[in-house]
Every structure is written in C-alpha cells, then in structure tokens.
Amino acid sequence: MKRALVTGGSGQIGAAICRQLAQERLHVIVHAHRHRASAEDVTKQIIEAGGSAGVACFDISDAQATQRALAEILEAGPIQVLVNNAGIHDDAPMADMRTDQWSHVIAVSLGGFFNVTQPLLLPMIGTRWGRIITISSISAVLGNRGQTNYAAAKAGLHGACKSLAREVASRGVTVNVVAPGMIESRMVEQTFKPEQIEALVPMKRAGTPQEVAYLVGFLASERAGYISGQVIGINGGMA
C-alpha cells in the first residue's frame, strides 16, 4: 500500500483530501501542528470507513523538528504521495504590515514546503514513482489586497514546483500545484456575504473542499502520470 502525507490535514480542505486519498487506497498520514485532536478525528473517520490512516504532529516551519518527525515516518517506508497543504495567512495592507507578519507567512508556506518536501525526495525517487501536490491559492495568480505576504509565499510555490517538476520528471515523480479560489470554509463564511460571492465568482457560488479533494485525488493517481509542472486553478471561473 502506498503511503501519503497531507500537511495541514486537520483543516477543512486538508481533511477532505485525506479522506479522498484514503478512498484511493492509500495509507494517509494526517498532519497537524496545534490541532492534534482534529487530526485524530479525521483519522478516526477514515478508519471507520474502512481506510488506513495515522497522525503526525510537528511544526513545518521548524526545520529540525520536521526532520525528526519525517525520519520517524520514513522508518516505516517512503512517502509516495505528498500533499503540501499547510499554510497560514496574516493579512494587512503592506504599508501597515509588520515584519513578523511577512516572515511568518513566508516561513510556513514556502519554508514549510522545503522542510517537508526535501527530506522525502530521495526515498520517493528510489521507488521510481511519486506524486507531489502543493495547494496554492488564486491570490498567487491574481493578487489580493492585504495579502502581499500570502500571495508572495504562494506564488513562490509555483516557481519551486515548476523547477522541481523538471528535476524529478525522469524518475517517475510528478509535481503539480492546485490553486483554489473561493472555497467553502469558516473563514469565507465570516468574510463574504452570499451576494459578494455571487458578484466575485462567475459560477455564483463558492467551491467545496470535496471538489478540491477530487482534483488532488486525480493528480495523485496513475491516471495523471503525464501531468507535471502545472498550476491548475479550481475557482469557478475567477481566473
């Protein structure tokens, strides 16, 4: 059974991705940082549905802590599907943005991508089969007021993944980015009224975490073996 690691697997999109990959008959390691209980709930849901899953908790922005956690995970074998989903936002107009707001968002989204992906590469390459899928944002494509830090971090992931895709293409490993637009979540519900969503999204609705998970599940499968180095939007026609 192939093994998958989903960072930020305790969140709404991450949980949907974990459940979908489990349905694709992968053993799923559900990652969390501060929300271990949520990750354990997702793991329980997967096992109760007949799937296979476990939990891993570490701070992806801490390189040493991540290396220790991944070394333990790799003792059981290579990770062949990696979903870099963890990220944070700390919004402010750039004129008012603090240095720590900039650096922390970059450290988690972009630094975390390196900290998690780099140690898993050689074991993955050794199997001659792998899928690396990174969750970005429409903000990296269009920009967004108050999110220079977040957009910069996510746009950096696009360049990193396109470059990595070229490095590992001959080894049976694909690397792609999924860039969601407005997806149903507590944050979207708190930020946008229904009429605002209708005005912003040509499809007149927010997407669902499950719709993102279906795309990730496809990219993680054998069926997507010739797709690599791509940034794939899922945004209801916004971009």
The pLDDT assigned to 189 comes to 82
Residue 72 belongs to a domain: yes
The mean per-residue pLDDT over the stretch 88-114 comes to 97
The count of domains in the chain is 1
The mean per-residue pLDDT over the stretch 213-239 comes to 97
The rounded Cα 212 to chain-centroid distance in angstroms is 10
Residue 194 belongs to a domain: no
Residue 150 belongs to a domain: yes
CA dist., res. 208 & res. 13, Å (int) = 8
CA dist., res. 18 & res. 9, Å (int) = 6
CATH of the domain at 86: 3.40.50.720
The pLDDT assigned to 188 comes to 82
Catalytic: which of 58, 102, 113, 150?
A: 150
The pLDDT assigned to 7 comes to 98
The mean per-residue pLDDT over the stretch 71-96 comes to 96
- Tell me if residue 150 is catalytic: yes
The pLDDT assigned to 190 comes to 77
The pLDDT assigned to 228 comes to 98
The pLDDT assigned to 186 comes to 81
The pLDDT assigned to 160 comes to 98
- Residue of 157, 153, 123 lying closest to 232 (CA atoms): 157
32 is in which domain, residue-wise?
A: 3-182+212-232
- Residue of 207, 237, 234 lying closest to 219 (CA atoms): 234
117-152 tens-digit pLDDT = 999 999 999 999 999 999 999 999 999 999 999 999
- Residue of 20, 2, 59 lying closest to 36 (CA atoms): 59
Residue 187 belongs to a domain: no
- C-beta of residue 65 within 8 angstroms of C-beta of residue 115: no
- C-beta of residue 175 within 8 angstroms of C-beta of residue 168: yes
The pLDDT assigned to 156 comes to 98
- C-beta of residue 7 within 8 angstroms of C-beta of residue 86: yes
Residue 200 belongs to a domain: no
CA dist., res. 49 & res. 85, Å (int) = 23
Residue 12 belongs to a domain: yes
Residue 97 belongs to a domain: yes
Q: Where does the pLDDT of residue 187 fall: very low under 50, low under 70, confident under 90, or very high at 90 and above?
A: confident
Q: Where does the pLDDT of residue 191 fall: very low under 50, low under 70, confident under 90, or very high at 90 and above?
A: confident
Say whether pLDDT at 192 is over 90: no
